């Protein structure tokens, strides 16, 4: 059953037990609108290139609403939309068309945005993804309904400058950059089926990795390639609440904190018998939501009309086939491979895939992987490696192919029990702090040669271990005496002495076992 | 070159008629030299000032008084490539809204069929009044107009020239400042039906910049009127039609009959709703199309700019005339959530009815012949004193062709008893532009 405290919400407001019970009566209902900027070479309706440039250098007459100019639809945007439709298991409409959505805004030069309101290119989809969180015992699979996908124009950007303070200075100014005006967006509208902020961000994270993989968008959040609006309300005993809309969030962190903030804010209002205002809100730098407009603006009538200069868009069978083939050729996304083929857990798969350096490292390792090495082992040793490197102030993860090879060799050797755990840690430290940045790979000595040369193989012969332990015991009778009386410090001291003397070549568990036998005088 | 110089001379001579908003004589001379170099025969062209030319384009509005577009309209480029030399940009009703060419920001167009006086004058029709007069006075061999509800055929009839609105989409709208996107047709003024077809061929062809453009199919055309089925719609003989116009309409039908055409009475009962239908559809498009004039990137900017919204509102109020502002208001009203179904969606249904009715008529007849306007050109004082309601009476005859997207041509058929020209309108089915021009030509040959 659903329980409020289990799924997130912990980052905002520490709650008393009484509050908890009260909160449990409210169920957050969250819907998302995700605006994905497509990575087509030209804009949605003009042949203007979309490459980065200084302000107002990527503007053709149509993009600045020169009167008399007409839209012509970029076919590449259709392909991207068809791929997106497939990704979200949407039904592609036989035909769709474009609408004008009217409102005045300085960076929207025509006084309307061309979008698809009534007959979108695709609708009725569903999308599944894993939800994981440190507060969850196990990840769970969530499926959300997609209401529609619509192709639409992006707006320009406005920069508001304050008035210059000096005497004779100028008043406040707004500068407009039309470079982005008319760039292609796909808006994904989900049904309000998210219950927590964590679910919302896992959806966006998963979606982001997929659209990058399938060459739909470059997916760079800091460049605004993905902008998210969230509708948030609290339902009480299945009675829907008033919703607010948080606009234009472009980082995962903001989405997370702003939704949580909004849930808490609405809860506080409802809990003190107030009413939530239907309104549009913005998220500030700290993820708090602040009111953006007057509340009556929420019901703005956009005076939709059919865009008369574009014929109906009829989807040809071969376009669908092409989009499908393109996606099949692209194969699975990295996070899917990590999860489904290699066996990484959902969290690690996403976490690794989101970090290009980490992903490169893992992919190198996987290529060298002996299939007997499991994802858990790789993750375990990556964690050891990370700690080691951070302690020695080195950049994790190491980027050389050479290192990856040594890393995987070590993993193999440790699982074959040819090296001890402690020995491997030492070797990881050695290789990760010395080999990194050293490009003369050929001269470097691999793990096997190094271990052979320095004779660091695990001591396997039980009699040899007994002999070594016995020697050390006899030379440290005082410590043995204390250890025998239950002094654990002395025991550890003894163990460390042996480790040092044997260059950590005895497996630590085995060593402890043998030591105990000596102490219990089963061995002498 | 001589033809261009004489065109320029005439343009100067008729300056008092307000034909041009901007004269581009040097441009015309340069285009003439380029044409000769390419082995083409230069000819003078006048372009309605709602087509983009990179010299200046105003739409007869203060809003665009100082506007220089970054491009040319497709059909302007095409005509220049064929030897056309742009003498100037012709005067019109502000943003093509009107049938009088009298209320534009740069003053009225005055017909050249009578002396131009300062206080009263003969109306040239509109909205493409300047282009019609440019052809009538012999300044231009070809004048480009636009036709949304009759804006080319009406002034053609009033000035005794040919006005040809092709099938919707045959001429690219790229670079035509829109009035009603789904009704706008770039159109042709010239002095004969042959020339209408000749220029159409020069200008036609699909344009990647206009997704609604279509290619003209290769058709035979016709060489004889014999056995041609000519439809006469009863509803066009309405109470506004003058005796002169009625007589000349009959006259045209009689001539055709004498040439062994079959005259077939037909009925187009929904035509009478075209005015109401047009008013709603046009207002909605106008409200939307005019939204871009916010003074941010271009256009008239008011000094009242304490807030962004104040700047938008005052810039628009100061620079758009009352006709334009009224239609914007009306359009925004029709587009509102609570009224869209009541007006806009109804009007779209009516449009389909009118269009279907005409399509059905063409199953029985090859062409339809009607008057182009109620009668001869009125005087400005007449229009003013009747608050321009006569404009609506004239629109009745021309709007249906736009609503149906079919080709229509106004042919100067004769003169009224006041000595002023009267036109008849021929309409053919979609993409039968060649047939239409052929019939107009055959009709004129036996006039």
Pick from A303, A305, A310, A311 the residue to mutate for testing the B interface (most B CBs within 10 Å).
Answer: A303
Q: Out of A215-219, A390-394, B25-29, B250-254, which region has the weakest mean confidence (pLDDT)?
A: A390-394
Q: Which residue has the tokens 């993820």?
A: A287
Question: What is residue B37's predicted lDDT score, i.e. its pLDDT?
Answer: 97
A212 and A178 inside one domain? yes
**CA atoms in the 13 A half-sphere facing the CB of B13:** 13
Shortest distance between the Cα of A38 and any Cα of chain B, in A, equals 22
Based on the domain organization, do A382 and A515 belong to the same domain?
no
Residue A281, strand partner residues: A246, A291
Return d(Cα B369, Cα B233) in angstroms, integer: 8
Rounded Cα gap, residues B369 and A132, in angstroms: 75
Cα distance between residue B80 and residue B209, in whole Å = 18
Q: Do B209 and A72 touch (CB under 8 A)?
A: yes
| Shortest CA gap A122–chain B (Å) | 22
What mean pLDDT do residues A71-84 have? Answer: 97
Q: Which of A65, A174, A310 sits opposite B211 (nearest CB)?
A: A310
3-state secondary structure of A49: strand
Residue of A nearest to B57 (CA): A67
Residue A18 has pLDDT above 70, yes or no: no
Peptide bond into B127 cis (omega under 30): yes
* Whether residue A109 is found in the same domain as residue A212: yes
B266 near B234, Cβ under 8 Å? yes
- For this structure, is B127 an active site residue? yes
Residues spanned by the domain of A495: 462-519
Helix residue ranges per DSSP H, A287-337: 317-330, 334-336
pLDDT of A169 over the 90 cut? no
Please report the pLDDT score of residue A366 as a whole number: 93
Q: How far is B275 from chain A (nearest CA, A)?
A: 20
What is the DSSP annotation of A205-228? HHHHHHHHHTTS----GGGTSEEE
Who's near B287: CB < 8 A, 6+ residues apart? A303, B327, B328, B329, B330, B331, B332, B334, B335
Q: Which residues from A are below 8 Å from B312, CB to CB?
A: 104
Assess contact for B126 and B154: CB atoms under 8 A: yes
Q: How confident is the model at residue A37 (pLDDT cuts 50, 70, 90)?
A: very high
Query: If you count them, how many residues does chain A have?
Result: 524
Q: From CA A79, how far away is CA A214, in angstroms rounded?
A: 11
Domain for residue A15, yes or no?
A: no
Indicate the pairing of strand A112-115 with strand B142-147: unpaired
For residues A202 and A154, is the Cβ–Cβ distance under 8 A? no
Could you tell me if A401 and A469 lie in one domain?
no
Output phi, psi for A227, to 5 deg.
-125, 135
Query: Chain A: nearest CA to B168, how far in angstroms?
Result: 12
Tell me the average pLDDT across A195-213.
98
pLDDT at res. B390? 78
Nearest-Cα residue of chain B relative to residue A56: B297
Question: What is the per-residue pLDDT across A422-468, written as a single tens digit (0 to 9) for each?
Answer: 999 999 999 988 755 555 555 678 999 999 999 999 999 999 999 99
Tell me, what's the ipTM?
0.96
What does the pLDDT read at residue A34? 98
Alpha carbon B418 to chain centroid, angstroms: 25
Do A212 and A138 share a domain, yes or no?
A: yes
For the question of residue B434 being annotated catalytic, the response is: no
Same domain assignment for residues A429 and A469: no
d(CA B370, CA B323): 28
Compare CB distances from A68 to B178, B211, B293 and report the shortest one's residue: B178
The DSSP call for residue A239 is: B
User: Does an H or E element contain A24, and which?
Assistant: helix A17-24
User: Is residue A386 in a domain?
Assistant: yes
Q: Indicate the pLDDT class of residue A8, thresholds 50, 70 and 90.
A: very low
Q: Domain for residue A274, yes or no?
A: no
pLDDT by residue, tens only, chain B of 447 residues: 899 999 999 999 999 999 999 999 999 999 999 999 999 999 999 999 999 999 999 999 999 999 999 999 999 999 999 999 999 999 999 999 999 999 999 999 999 999 887 889 999 999 999 999 999 999 999 999 999 999 999 999 999 999 999 999 999 999 999 999 999 999 999 999 999 999 999 999 999 999 999 999 999 989 999 999 999 999 999 999 999 999 999 999 999 999 999 999 999 999 999 999 999 999 999 999 999 999 999 999 999 988 889 999 999 999 999 999 999 999 999 999 999 999 999 999 999 999 999 999 999 999 999 999 999 999 999 998 887 787 888 999 999 999 999 999 999 999 999 999 999 999 999 999 999 999 999 999 988
Angle formed by the axes of helices A488-501 and A462-475, nearest 10°: 120
Domains along chain B with CATH numbers: 2-203 (3.90.1300.10)
Within-domain flag for A472: yes
Catalytic site residue B61? no
- Inspect the interface and report whether the beta carbons of A102 and B178 lie closer than 8 Å: no
Of chain B, the end-to-end C-alpha distance in Å amounts to 34
The pLDDT score that the predictor gives to residue A520 is 85
Q: Give the tens place of pLDDT for each residue, B46-85.
A: 999 999 999 999 999 999 999 999 999 999 999 999 999 9
Q: What is the DSSP letter of A64?
A: G
Task: Say yes or no for a CB contact (<8 Å) between A66 and B182.
Answer: no
Tens of pLDDT along A87-118?
999 999 999 999 999 999 989 999 999 999 99
Residues of B within 8 A of A308 (CB-CB) are 181-182, 285
- Token pair 């976490």 in the structure block, residue: A351
DSSP one-letter string for B220-264: ---S--TT-EEEEEGGGS-TT--HHHHHHHHHHHHHHHHTTPEEE
* Parallel, antiparallel or unpaired: strands A122-131 and A244-249: unpaired
User: Dihedral angle at the C-alpha atoms of B309, B312, B317, B319, nearest 10 degrees?
Assistant: 160
Chain A contact for B337, CB < 8 A?
A: yes
Whether residues A77 and A204 share a domain: the answer is: yes
Report how many domains make up chain A: 3
Whether A339 maps to a domain, the answer reads no
Please indicate if any CB of chain A lies within 8 Å of the CB of B332.
yes
Q: Within a domain: residue A128?
A: yes
Tokens found for residue A87: 């990704």
pLDDT score, position A1: 33
In this structure, the answer to whether residues A70 and A209 fall within a common structural domain is yes
Nearest CB to B288: which of A67, A100, A109?
Answer: A100
User: What pLDDT sits at residue A9?
Assistant: 41
* CA angle centred on B236, ends B232 and B237, rounded to 5°: 95
> Sign (positive/negative) of CA torsion B358, B359, B364, B365?
positive
Q: How many residues does chain B have?
A: 447
| Residue A283 belongs to a domain | no
pLDDT digits (tens, 9 = 90+) for A110-163: 999 999 999 999 999 999 999 999 999 999 999 999 999 999 999 999 998 888
Q: How far, in Å, CA of B123 to CA of B154, rounded? A: 11
Whole-number pLDDT of residue A294: 54
Q: How far is B176 from chain A (nearest CA, A)?
A: 5
A164 touches chain B (CB under 8 A): no
Same domain, yes or no: A369 and A424: yes
Q: CA of B424 to nearest chain A CA: how many angstroms apart?
A: 31
Choose one of A429, A454, A479: the last residue of a domain: A454
Q: Are residues A141 and A182 in the same domain?
A: yes
The verdict on A446 and A478 lying in the same domain is: no
List the catalytic residue out of B10, B22, B48, B187: B48
Q: Residues with Cβ < 8 Å from A464, sequence gap 6 or more?
A: none
For residue A176, give the nearest of B177, B211, B296 by CB distance: B296
Contact yes or no for B197/B434 (Cβ under 8 A): yes
CB of B309 within 8 Å of a chain A CB? The answer is: yes
Confidence class for position A5, pLDDT limits 50, 70, 90: very low
The token duo for B404 is 């149906």
Q: How much is the pLDDT for A17?
A: 60
Give the count of beta carbons closer than 10 Å to the beta carbon of residue A354.
15
Mean of pLDDT over chain A = 91
Q: Between A and B, how many residue pairs show a Cβ–Cβ distance under 8 A?
A: 106
Same domain, A116 and A197: yes
Given this model, what pLDDT does residue A7 score? Answer: 40
Q: Which residues of A touch B64 (CB under 8 A)?
A: 67
Q: State mean pLDDT over A172-186.
A: 94
Rg (CA), chain A: 31
- A68 and B294 within 8 Å at the Cβ level: the answer is no
Catalytic residue among B127, B146, B213, B315: B127
Whole-number Å distance between alpha carbons of A373 and A343? 11
CB-based contact, B56 to chain A, within 8 Å: no
Examine residue A515 and state whether it is found in any structural domain, yes or no.
yes
Contacts of A174 in chain B (CB under 8 A): 308
Going by C-alpha positions, the residue among A119, A291, A262, A125 that lies closest to residue A193 is: A125
Which of B184, B186, B211, B300 to mutate to test binding with chain A, by most A CBs within 10 Å of its CB?
B211
pLDDT of residue A12 exceeding 50, the answer is: no
Q: Do B344 and A305 touch (CB under 8 A)?
A: yes
């Amino acid at each position: 059953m659903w329980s409020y405290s289990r799924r997130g919400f912990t980052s905002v407001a520490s709650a008393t037990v009484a509050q908890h019970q009260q909160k449990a009566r409210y169920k957050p209902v969250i819907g998302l609108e995700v605006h994905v900027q497509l990575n087509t070479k030209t804009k949605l309706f003009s042949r203007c290139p979309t490459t980065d440039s200084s302000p107002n250098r990527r503007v053709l007459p149509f993009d600045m609403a020169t009167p008399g100019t007409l839209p012509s639809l970029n076919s590449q945007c259709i392909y991207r939309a068809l791929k997106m439709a497939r990704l979200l298991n949407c039904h592609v409409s036989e035909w769709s068309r474009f609408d004008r959505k009217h409102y005045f805004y300085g960076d929207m030069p025509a006084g309307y945005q061309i979008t698809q309101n009534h007959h979108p290119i695709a609708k009725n989809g569903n999308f599944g993804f894993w939800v994981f969180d440190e507060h969850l015992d196990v990840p769970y699979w969530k499926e959300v309904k997609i209401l529609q996908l619509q192709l639409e124009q992006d707006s320009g950007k406005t920069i508001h400058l304050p008035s210059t303070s000096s005497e004779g200075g100028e008043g406040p100014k707004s500068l407009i950059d039309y470079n982005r005006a008319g760039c292609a967006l796909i808006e994904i509208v989900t049904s309000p089926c998210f219950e927590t902020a964590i679910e919302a961000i896992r959806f966006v994270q998963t979606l982001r990795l997929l659209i990058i993989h399938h060459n739909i968008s470059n997916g760079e959040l800091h460049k605004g390639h993905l902008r998210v609006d969230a509708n948030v309300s609290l339902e009480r005993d299945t009675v829907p609440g008033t919703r607010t809309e948080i606009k234009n969030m472009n980082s995962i962190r903001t989405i997370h904190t702003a939704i949580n903030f909004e849930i808490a804010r609405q809860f506080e209002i409802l809990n003190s018998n107030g009413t939530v205002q239907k309104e549009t809100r913005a998220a500030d730098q700290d993820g708090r939501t602040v009111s953006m407009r007057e509340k009556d603006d929420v019901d703005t009538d956009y005076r939709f009309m059919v865009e008369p200069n574009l014929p109906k868009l009829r989807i040809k069978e071969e376009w669908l086939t092409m989009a499908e083939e393109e996606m099949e050729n692209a194969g699975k996304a990295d996070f899917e491979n990590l999860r489904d083929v290699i066996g990484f857990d959902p969290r690690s798969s996403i976490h690794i895939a989101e970090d290009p350096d980490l992903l490169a490292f893992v992919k190198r390792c996987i290529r060298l992987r002996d299939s007997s090495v499991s994802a858990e082992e790789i993750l375990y040793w990556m964690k050891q490696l990370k700690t080691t490197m951070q302690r020695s102030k080195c950049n994790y993860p190491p980027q050389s192919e050479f290192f990856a090879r040594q890393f995987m060799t070590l993993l193999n050797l440790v699982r074959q029990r040819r090296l001890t755990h402690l020995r491997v840690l030492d070797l990881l430290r050695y290789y990760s702090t010395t080999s990194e940045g050293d490009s003369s790979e050929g001269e470097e000595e691999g793990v096997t040669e190094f271990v052979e040369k320095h004779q660091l193989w695990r001591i396997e012969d039980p009699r040899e271990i007994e002999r070594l332990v016995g020697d050390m015991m006899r030379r440290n009778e005082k410590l043995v005496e204390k250890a025998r009386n239950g002094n654990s410090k002395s025991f550890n001291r003894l163990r460390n002495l042996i480790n040092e003397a044997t260059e950590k070549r005895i497996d630590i568990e085995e060593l402890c076992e043998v030591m105990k036998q000596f102490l219990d005088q089963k061995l002498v | 070159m001589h033809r261009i110089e004489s065109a320029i001379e005439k343009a100067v001579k008729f300056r008092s008629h307000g034909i041009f908003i901007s004269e581009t004589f040097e441009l015309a001379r340069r285009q003439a030299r380029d044409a000769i170099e390419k082995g083409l025969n230069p000819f003078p062209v006048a372009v309605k000032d709602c087509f983009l030319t990179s010299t200046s384009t105003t739409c007869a509005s203060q809003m665009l008084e100082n506007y220089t577009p970054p491009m040319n309209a497709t059909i302007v480029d095409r005509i220049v490539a064929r030897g056309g030399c742009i003498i100037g940009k012709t005067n019109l009703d502000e943003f093509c809204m009107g049938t009088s060419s009298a209320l534009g920001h740069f003053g009225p167009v005055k017909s050249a069929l009578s002396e131009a006086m300062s206080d009263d004058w003969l109306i040239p029709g509109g909205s493409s009044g300047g282009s019609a007069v440019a052809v009538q006075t012999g300044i231009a061999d070809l004048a480009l107009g636009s036709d949304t509800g009759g804006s080319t055929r009406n002034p053609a009839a009033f000035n005794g020239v040919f006005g040809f609105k092709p099938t919707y989409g045959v001429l690219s709208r790229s670079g035509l400042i829109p009035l009603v996107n789904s009704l706008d047709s770039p159109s042709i003024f010239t002095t004969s039906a042959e020339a209408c077809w000749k220029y159409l061929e020069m200008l036609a062809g699909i344009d990647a910049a206009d997704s609604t453009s279509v290619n003209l199919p290769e058709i035979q055309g016709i060489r004889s009127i014999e056995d041609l089925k000519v439809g006469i719609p009863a509803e066009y003989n309405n109470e506004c039609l003058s005796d002169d116009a009625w007589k000349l309409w009959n006259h045209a039908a009689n001539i055709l009959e004498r040439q062994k055409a079959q005259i077939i009475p037909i009925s187009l009962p929904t035509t009478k709703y075209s005015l109401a239908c047009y008013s709603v559809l046009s207002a909605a498009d106008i409200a939307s199309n005019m939204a871009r004039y916010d003074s941010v990137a271009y256009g008239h900017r008011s000094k009242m700019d304490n807030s962004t919204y104040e700047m938008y509102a005052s810039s628009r109020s100061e620079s758009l005339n009352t006709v334009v502002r009224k239609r914007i208001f009306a359009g925004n009203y029709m587009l509102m959530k609570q009224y869209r179904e009541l007006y806009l969606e109804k009007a779209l249904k009516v449009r389909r009815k009118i269009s279907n009715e005409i399509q059905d008529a063409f199953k029985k007849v090859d062409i339809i012949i009607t008057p182009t306007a109620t009668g001869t050109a009125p005087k400005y004082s007449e229009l003013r004193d009747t608050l321009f309601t006569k404009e609506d009476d004239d629109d009745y005859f021309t709007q249906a062709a736009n609503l149906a997207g079919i080709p229509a041509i106004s042919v100067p058929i004769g003169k009224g008893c006041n000595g002023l020209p009267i036109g008849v309108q021929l309409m053919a089915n979609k993409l039968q532009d060649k047939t239409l021009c052929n019939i107009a030509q055959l009709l004129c040959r036996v006039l």
